[in-house]
Amino acid sequence: MNALVATNRNFKLAARLLGLDSKLEKSLLIPFREIKVECTIPKDDGTLASFVGFRVQHDNARGPMKGGIRYHPEVDPDEVNALAQLMTWKTAVANIPYGGAKGGIGCNPGELSISELERLTRVFTQKIHDLIGVHTDVPAPDMGTNPQTMAWILDEYSKFHGYSPAVVTGKPTDLGGSLGRDAATGQGVLFATEALLNEHGKSISGQRFVIQGFGNVGSWAAKLISENGGKIVAVSDITGAIKNSKGIDIPSLLKHSIEHRGVKGFNGGDPIDPNSILVEDCDILIPAALGGVINRENANEIKAKFIIEAANHPTDPEADEILSKKGVVILPDIYANSGGVTVSYFEWVQNIQGFMWDEEKVNNELKTYMTRGFKNVKEMCKTHNCDLRMGAFTLGVNRVARATVLRGWEA
């Protein structure tokens, strides 16, 4: 099931539980604006190349729109729409004053030189500079983009509007990026996991974890969980998968994966088939890679008691049903991986104030937001007698619906 179908399905279930008016329900789903622009640049060899850039701005009832910019060859409009919508609910669940957006450029960043990427980013910014802004739409990095990309957008945007560090987040710290932003999603995953386990009378210490994906989110989550006494028994990434039932030495694995560009060949564990990672024996499974990895084919085989969704929509709705019958508790993506956007909000706040925080303050504030977020989700679960996914969706949708009605926008 594709991302858009799944997201729309969850939204409709939440709207039904909340008893939303059908006109309001329809207007909440329609994106505020969809932008498509042609970006033509001279390549290093002097030939011209054209790319399509786009931005879906989903909703701005609660504040400026917020969401990543990805550089990827297959940019599927449905997926971008789903991710923009997901950002609307995610920022509402986190209770930060934003709506959702998503965008990018259809290109293969690996095939472009640094100077080509810079030219492409600047042309894209020239085309959309009057449609983004500190109080309109605030982009951030995503697949295939990084702090350097944000620095180029900031510079190009500032040529038109004056120096505006708050127009993008995920910037280099030298240009107003926040401390703690790099670790933020992984740090949020840690706080979310602590909140969930606390509810069940457990703590991270002594639990056995399996982590699928060892990119930014997976590697930070692994590092922080192991520092808090969690035992990571299996890890996988694009290159392969490794297992060690006594617990993997994470600092050594981090060093290995930087040196060898992946976990493959690490000697502190046995290689296993990456496809079996999700069904390895563990207490807590953390999918931190791609969407749709937990589906009806493998859901019955999953041995974990808890699943923490660090990736976006890693669990198909069919798998959701199978797992809930088995009594597996799933902490949904729109809450579990909201650490990144929450610290992006902190970065934006610091830029607007012109006053930067130290890392300890960033992490303390993040913990406050994640802990309070979990409490709010649980309250919705009690009110509507539903699971954590519907608890999070009803919480997010309800906040956006209330803002929409209060502003007098309902149809």
Cα 371 to Cα 373: distance, rounded to the nearest angstrom: 5
Sheet holding 270-272, edge to edge: 270-272, 240-243, 231-237, 208-212, 284-287, 306-308, 329-331
> Is 368 part of any known ligand binding site?
no
Is 361 known as a binding-site position?
A: no
Closest CA to 202 of 105, 92, 142, 283: 283
Distance CA 397, CA 90 (A): 9
Backbone angles phi, psi at 91, to 5 degrees: -65, -30
CB proximity list for 30: less than 8 A, separation 6 or greater: none
User: C-alpha angle 401/402/403, rounded to 5°?
Assistant: 90
DSSP secondary structure letter of residue 293: -
Whole-angstrom distance, CA of residue 189 vs CA of residue 337: 6
Binding residue per annotation — 185?
Answer: yes
Spell out where 73-189 has E strands: 99-106, 137-141
Residue 62, classed as helix, strand or coil, is: coil
Active-site choice (23, 26, 102, 361): 102
The answer to the question of whether 226 is labelled as a binding residue is no
- Residue the block writes with tokens 């009806």: 296
Check if 102 is active-site. Answer: yes
Angle, CA of 132, 185 and 373, to the nearest 5°: 90
Burial class (CB in 10 A: 0-12, 13-18, 19+), 22: exposed
Give the length of the chain. 411
CA distance 99 to 57: 8
Question: Is 90 known as a binding-site position?
Answer: yes
Strand order in the sheet with 33-42: 33-42, 48-57, 99-106, 65-72, 137-141
Nearest to 299 by CA among 282, 314, 320, 281: 320
* Distance between CA atoms of residues 242 and 236, nearest Å: 6
- Tokens 């932003």, residue located: 181
Binding residues for substrate: 66, 90, 344
Binding residues for NAD(+): 185, 216
Any idea which residues carry the catalytic annotation?
102
